[in-house]
Amino acid sequence: MFQGSLVALITPFKKGKVDFGALRALVDWHVAQGTDGLVPVGTTGESPTVDMAEHKKIIETVVKQAQGRIPVVAGAGANATSEALELARFSKAAGADATLQVCPYYNKPTQEGLYRHFATIAEKVNLPVVLYNVPGRTAVTLAPGTVARLAKLKNIVAIKEATGSMDQTSEILSLCDITVLSGDDSLTLPLMALGAKGVISVVANIVPAEVSQMCTAALEGNFDGALALHRKLFPLCRAMFFETNPIPVKTAASLMKLCSAEMRLPLCEMGVAAKVQMVKEMKAFGLI
């Protein structure tokens, strides 16, 4: 379940509301394009600016639309353990296959606090947990030793590694056999060469088939084929981070008529210069 290309799904908006029609269409498109899993309401899904009712309805909608065709890893993280528990319990009731649990942000817990946070969720909700380590967003890093401790728990099954550190993944895999998924598109292939099993991808929102093909090639040991796809994707991967994610990918999706470019403050429209450069890369790839 936890390998290949899982998309960090964008959340479409229309006139200030979640566009559930566009969301359902995105789910169907990803299934048709060969995406291996859906990860709604994470960072790319603008989780910080949806309220609790919207958050739950997005999870429910994606699960219902997927209809078991591909797994759904529901974004259910929070910086309060009680809130993460509420979202994890809802995700299980809604039929999600797992939850994505980010390191609690802003309050900067210790390694022991991080361990207790994730352990509490894993022990109280019988649903697989994908840890999410993204210190650039959370101001804390989940240490390899803590990951190894958590991997001993039955429901801790994988980690999305977005530290940008090859050493981090190498050390994790030297300490335990947890499944590692890349959290950085440009590092997916390098991390898979170290033993990672795939990616939770931003760029797959606009090129799902190619990202899935690259991951499949790497999993099958066809690293020459995977490298060719990596090199093709790399400029587009970088373009998705010309500005803060998900501003570029949401803008790109709108140019492809997948949804509107609407975001919620404090996110705003893409700057002109960055957008020009992104459009250049999209045209080079043949997307527009």
Q: Which domain holds residue 128?
A: 4-221
**Model pLDDT, residue 143:** 98
Task: Evaluate whether residue 52 is within a structural domain.
Answer: yes
Query: Over the stretch 250-284, which tens digit does the pLDDT of each residue have?
Result: 999 999 999 999 999 999 999 999 999 999 999 99
In a domain, 272, yes or no: no
**Which residue out of 56, 160, 250, 275 is catalytically annotated?**
160
Task: State how many domains the chain has.
Answer: 1
Q: What is the pLDDT of residues 40-85, one digit of tens each?
A: 999 999 999 999 999 999 999 999 999 999 999 999 999 999 999 9
**Is 51 a member of any domain?**
yes
Q: What is the arithmetic mean of pLDDT over 218-227?
A: 98
Per-residue HEC secondary structure of the chain comes to CCCEEEEECCCCEECCEECHHHHHHHHHHHHHHCCCEEECCCCCCCHHHCCHHHHHHHHHHHHHHHCCCCCEEEECCCCCHHHHHHHHHHHHHHCCCEEEEECCCCCCCCHHHHHHHHHHHHHHCCCCEEEEECHHHHCCCCCHHHHHHHHCCCCEEEEEECCCCHHHHHHHHHHCCCEEEECCHHHHHHHHHHCCCEEEECHHHCCHHHHHHHHHHHHCCCHHHHHHHHHHHHHHHHHCCCCCCCHHHHHHHHHCCCCCCCCCCCCCCCCHHHHHHHHHHHHHHCCC
The CATH number covering residue 67 comes to 3.20.20.70
Residue 230 belongs to a domain: no
Question: Is the pLDDT reported for residue 1 higher than 90?
Answer: no
Residue 22 within any structural domain of the chain: yes
Instruction: Give the pLDDT mean for 22-45.
Output: 98
Q: What is the pLDDT of residues 170-185, one digit of tens each?
A: 999 999 999 999 999 9
Average pLDDT of the chain, as a whole number: 98
pLDDT per residue as tens digits for the range 139-169: 999 999 999 999 999 999 999 999 999 999 9
In a domain, 276, yes or no: no
Establish if 259 belongs to a structural domain. no
Question: Which two tokens mark 120?
Answer: 């509490």
What size, in residues, is the chain?
288
- Res 132 pLDDT > 90: yes
Task: Choose the catalytic residue: 56, 132, 250, 275.
Answer: 132
Match 């949401």 to its residue by tokens.
250
Domain assignment of residue 98, yes or no: yes
Q: Of 210, 173, 145, nearest to 181 (Cα)? A: 173
User: Is residue 132 among the annotated active site residues?
Assistant: yes
